[in-house]
Each structure stands twice: as C-alpha cells, then as structure tokens.
Amino acid sequence: MTKPLEVPTMDMENKEVLRRIEITGDMLLNMGPQHPSTHGVINFLVQTDGEVMKRAIPEVGYLHRSIEKIGERCTYNGFMPYTDRVDYIAAMFANQGWAMAVERLLGMQIPKYAEYCRIIACELNRISSHLISVGTMAMDVGAVTPFPYALREREFINDLLEELCGARLTYNYLRIGGVAFDLPSGYEDKVQGFVDHFEKILDEFNRLITYNEIFIKRLAHLAPISAQMAIDYCLVGPNLRATGYGFDVRKALPYSVYPEFQFDVPVGRGEVGTKGDAWDRFWCRVEEMRQSCRILRQALAQMPQDREIMAKVPRKIKIPEGTEAYSRIESARGDMQYYVVAGAGENAHRVKIRTGSFTAMGIIDALSRGLMIADLVALIASLDVVAPEIDR
C-alpha cells in the first residue's frame, strides 16, 4: 500500500487534479460514464498507481433531469409521476415522500386503510430494491449467479406491483390523500404466499453468496466506515446502519402506520470483519429484506376492513403562499426528505429532494484512498448508489 501522498482537496477543480496527476506520474483513469459497474451514468476520475488507487473522485451530474424544477412547474398532483423517476428502483418511496409532503401542506389525515396499502407497496418495493442492490453487488465482485437469483425474486414482486398499479418500474401508485387503486381481490394471499416463499430464498441466497468464503475475503475489512464518519458525511439508510448506528426513520421519527408494527433495525456488527465494512452493508440489506417480510406479514394481518383508499382532497389543490412542509421517509436507500414551499398558484414555489445516494457519493473520495481498483467497484456497489437518485 502506498502511503497517502499530499492529496488535493475536495473543492479543487478537476483541471487542477489532472495537473497534479501529471506531475506525480500516476495514471488517470476515467471510470465511467459508460463503465459496466458504476450503476448508471456516473464518472469516477481515478488516480492510480498500478492497481492501487490514490483517490477516486466521483463526478456526478450526467443524469440530471431538473426534477426539482419540474416540481415547481407542475401542479401538486401532476408532479406525482415525475417522482417515480427520482429513484426508479424504489419509485414507491419517492411517491410516498411527495404525497406526505403535500398532505402536510394541506394538513390532512389519510384513511388508515390507504396507509396500509402504502406500507405493503413500499415494503414490497424495499425488498425489490434491496434485491437489485445485493444482486449487483455480488455481480460486481464477480459472482454472476446471485444476480439472476435476485432478479427472479424481483420478478415476483414486479408481478405483484403490476397487479396493484399496472406498472412494473415507475409505479405512480400513491396519490395525495391516499392511493390510486384498492388492493385487487385475493391480493393479500398472494403477498402472503410470496413472503412465505421468499424467506426460504433468503436462506438460500445467504448460502449461495453472503457466507461464501471468497466473497467474505473480498468484502470484509473493505472501506470500513465508523459511525462518527458516517454521520459527518450524512450517510443514511443501510449505509449508516451498517456502522452500528441504528438510525431508521421508521423507528426514530415514526410516520404512517409504522408504529403499529414490530420489527428490528439490523445494524452492522462486524461479524466477519471490521464493523461498518462493505460486507456489513451487504448483510444489512439482506437482513432488512427479512424485516420487510415481517412488516408485510403484520400489515396483512392487521389490515383495516373499511377499504377506504382516498381522503377528501380538493380537485384543485391551492395552498396559501409560503406554507412550508417537510417529509422524511425511510427509502430503500435511506432517509429521503422532501421540502416543499407552496407557491401562489396551484404549484409549489420550491421543491427540494434530499436523497441518500447523493450523500453516499460524497464519502467515496475519502474511502477510496489506498484501495485497489477492484475494491472501488465493490465500494460503489456496497453504498448502493443509483444514478438518477444522485442527480435527480
């Protein structure tokens, strides 16, 4: 391992970085934006000396679509389909964040049945999102087979969600004031059947990859993050919890009907390596899928019977100018926050979305120093960044 040289600071222009790389005689490697394992269009400027990196600078912005600005130009309801695109792997959460923010602007309560529908949809979506995450992480470490295994299970969830709202990726299921459709008949049994089947598959998945010797060798002790460092870099979600700091918005700042469920927040324990290493992040996601299954079971058992899916929402939502609202939800990628300031007409004056992937990108530079190129790939995958969520 090379000892960290005098490294350029974060805010330095890329040009300056390039100049320094030239002086030191290192190699500059552009990893991305079309690299197979950057998980979307992200670029990493990698300064390497052979296999060992001196640093990797994430370059974001290739997938910026001005979603927040679109939110200021659309009506409150009209923005709902756009929120799907904030994080297309876990679209339900982006829906929920926006719906909750506007509901808070309106100061309204939504029917309990609708909340349960939301929770079922969201937890299914959390499982499918984590499946993508753990599957691609295994693939980035070189094991291809866990990925189709994960995708096969995700297909079942896609089928379920398609039955619910007609879409398989960008769901647009939630509405301000409730959900768009009632659960189809027999839906509870199908979800129950999936959960029963899926918990066995999780054990199989653990046997296949989680406790694989090479996999552990690759990920244990890799890029450990301490709890303090994670908080300093605003990490959220499984990335934060893997450090042993059990902050989960569902528990810490309960919203929706989450207080009615019993579930644990899995935190990293450093089971095979250092606490907060890449393997812990992987393991946290696997365990969270199990917890989501628990929540789904309870939600199905406790469903209210009234089947009321929408609260009374005015056809044209008009909110006094300058009213502010803020919603925080636990998305698959962690703490997702929507901040809305109502505008004069039927749309918002300001929309700001805070997402987990964007902050996760910030820590890559600090963690990448002294790692190898193969480790960088595993590190990016372990942080579970999704390009559209970074740039919005």
Partner 1 sequence: MQGFLDNLIRSKGFDPATWQYTQFVYLAGMAAAAFIVINFAAITAGIFSWAERRVAARMQSRVGPNRVGPGGFLQWVADAVKLLLKEDLVPDEADKLLFRIAPYFMMVGFACVFVALPFSHRLVVADMNIGLFYILAVTALIVVGIIMSGWSSNSKWSLFGAIRSAAQIISYEIPAGMALMIPVLLAGTMSTQGIIRAQGGWPWQWFLFNNPAAFAAFFIYFISALAEGNRTPFDLPEAESELVSGYNTEYSGMRFSYFFLVEWGNMWVMSALAVTMFLGGWQIPGLSPERFDALRGGLGVVAEVASLAVFAMKTLFFVFVVMWLRWTLPRIRVDQMMNMCWKYLVPASFAGVLFVAAWMLLVNAQPWLGYAMRFTLTALGAVSVTLFALRVLRNIHDTGDKFDFTSNW
Write out the two tokens for 280.
Answer: 């812990």
Residue 184: CB minimum distance to partner 1, A: 26
Identify which of residues 103 and 140 has a Cβ nearer to partner 1 in the complex: 140
Residue 43: CB minimum distance to partner 1, A: 14
Instruction: Give the Cα separation of 52 and 2 in Å (integer).
Output: 8
Q: DSSP of 332-392, one letter per residue?
A: TTEEEEEEEEE-SSSBEEEEEEE-HHHHHHHHHHHHHTT-BHHHHHHHHHHHT--HHHHH-
Side-chain-side CA neighbours of 46 within 13 Å: the count stands at 27
Residue 282: CB minimum distance to partner 1, A: 12
Identify which of residues 16 and 51 has a Cβ nearer to partner 1 in the complex: 51
Contacts of 85 (CB under 8 A, 6+ apart): 65, 67, 91, 94, 170, 388
Residues that bind partner 1 (CB under 8 A): 27, 29, 35-37, 50-51, 138-145, 148-149, 152, 197, 200-201, 203-204, 207-209, 212, 214-215, 217-218, 372-375, 377
Residue 170: CB minimum distance to partner 1, A: 25
Dihedral pair phi/psi, residue 86, rounded to 5°: -65, -45
Instruction: Give the Cα separation of 60 and 295 in Å (integer).
Output: 35
Judge whether 390 and 355 are in contact, CB under 8 Å: yes
Q: How far is CA 347 from CA 106, 231, 249, 318, 363, in A?
A: 13, 34, 28, 8, 35
Residue 280: CB minimum distance to partner 1, A: 17
CA angle 251, 254, 259 (to 5 degrees): 80
Identify which of residues 35 and 352 has a Cβ nearer to partner 1 in the complex: 35
Contacts of 97 (CB under 8 A, 6+ apart): 83, 327, 328, 329, 331, 336, 337, 338, 353
Identify which of residues 195 and 325 has a Cβ nearer to partner 1 in the complex: 195
Instruction: Give the Cα separation of 292 and 153 in Å (integer).
Output: 14
Residue 126: CB minimum distance to partner 1, A: 23
Identify which of residues 124 and 139 has a Cβ nearer to partner 1 in the complex: 139
Residue 210: CB minimum distance to partner 1, A: 11
Residue 128: CB minimum distance to partner 1, A: 17
Identify which of residues 96 and 133 has a Cβ nearer to partner 1 in the complex: 133
Residue 110: CB minimum distance to partner 1, A: 38
Identify which of residues 113 and 282 has a Cβ nearer to partner 1 in the complex: 282
Q: Minimal CA–CA distance to 354: which of 382, 327, 322?
A: 327
Identify which of residues 89 and 138 has a Cβ nearer to partner 1 in the complex: 138
Strand ranges for the chain from DSSP E: 27-31, 43-49, 52-59, 174-175, 178-179, 324-331, 334-342, 348-354
Residue 269: CB minimum distance to partner 1, A: 22
Q: What is the DSSP letter of 285?
A: H
Identify which of residues 179 and 209 has a Cβ nearer to partner 1 in the complex: 209
Identify which of residues 208 and 311 has a Cβ nearer to partner 1 in the complex: 208
Q: Minimal CA–CA distance to 361: which of 38, 23, 8, 36?
A: 38
Q: Minimal CA–CA distance to 43: which of 63, 58, 27?
A: 58
